[in-house]
A and B are shown apart, each in its own frame.
Chain A
């Protein structure tokens, strides 16, 4: 195999990889967006529910005000609804509730150690992306490097074997094999060999 053929094959594989990478990125992003992002609340009721989900029930274990049926949770839900009706902002509503029931705001702080909740996923995502880039670049380098001497020896051995086989006298053609449309594809010459097949066997 020549270096030009290897390079053409390499660019074809790179294009295929890039296409798959694009599919993974687009599909993954869509999945992540659908799973994580709930979008902005559309109605006042959505807004009340969203605020209630982000505020913990003061007397429950791990339940938000939206989930709990405790009296205080119901009172807080009603209070949120009243404040939303009054046109108060989300921040002022949460601040009022946090003043009355401290330590129940589920929204992680954007500073201090709690900020890791926001930072870590971004760092992990960036790390994974960087890892993918490194791996893909390494693969591309390997492909662009073309065939190694060992590969070329392997191909040469294969070609000489094929030549020896085709040089042997053929049997009398039967009626069926006389028909050129019924020609046996395994009798094809070396020029018809799929180069990718040779390349795959030469891996090493």
Chain B
């Protein structure tokens, strides 16, 4: 052991301490995890395309719905909040679809076409339902969990994305606010 030993120790310890401090700083300032609010869609941007075969054998194309508001509802027959919100969607559809003001389209999230058909038979709802190959639609709309609903305006742009179960009043408020904003 010589007098030089402490100085040598400092030369070894100091750079290691600096590197560790920088790493600490780096990890302390990083986000703690993924965004749990799931994905987003660009509000005010054009809604991603939706083209798919419906459970009754027809074809749904979102572009054909220009001129009316569309509620794009992502759901699963095994999801409790989805089951709870279903009567609200039925009520909204019955109020606004006959006049051509609004439409609802349901997109199944990891569910079978037969389950979905059975669910609508039991719970009502007479609107297009897409149950096959829906993964790409869900990704395009940033859907990670269900239920989620995206309100699309009559001009095709995204009005809002609602996370969790929705009510008829909630959808009406979103559309009403959008119309008010557009007129202003």
Contacts and interface: CB of A to CB of B under 8 A. Distances in A.
A104 B26 contact: no
B108 to A, nearest CB: 11
Nearest to A58: B144
Interface in A136-166: none
Given A75-B135, A117-B26, A101 B19 contact: no
A182 B138 CA distance: 92
B109 A71 contact: yes
B30 interface: yes
B140 interface: yes
A145 to B, nearest CB: 16
B31 interface: yes
Interface string A50-72: 00000011111110000000111
Interface in B32-48: 33-36, 38-42
B153 interface: no
A113 interface: yes
A89 B21 CA distance: 37
Contacts of A78: 135-136
A12 interface: no
A195 interface: no
B140 A103 contact: no
A120 B22 contact: yes
B154 interface: no
A56 B144 CA distance: 12
Contacts of B136: 75, 78-79, 82
A59 B138 CA distance: 14
Contacts of A97: 139
Chain B CB count within 10 A is highest, among A60, A102, A127, for A102
A99 interface: yes
Contact of A103 (B25, B26, B31): B31
B85 interface: no
Contacts of B31: 103
Nearest to B29: A113
Contact of B139 (A57, A76, A117, A123): A76
A101 B38 contact: yes
A102 B40 contact: yes
B22 A100 contact: no
Contacts of B42: 99
18 contacts: A58-B35, A58-B39, A71-B109, A72-B138, A72-B144, A75-B135, A78-B136, A99-B142, A100-B141, A102-B40, A103-B35, A104-B34, A113-B26, A116-B22, A116-B25, A117-B26, A120-B19, A131-B12
Which are the 4 A-B pairs with shortest beta-carbon distances? A100-B142, A75-B135, A72-B144, A58-B144
Given A58-B34, A58-B36, A75-B136, 10 more contacts: A59-B36, A72-B138, A72-B143, A79-B135, A99-B42, A100-B140, A101-B142, A104-B34, A116-B22, A131-B11
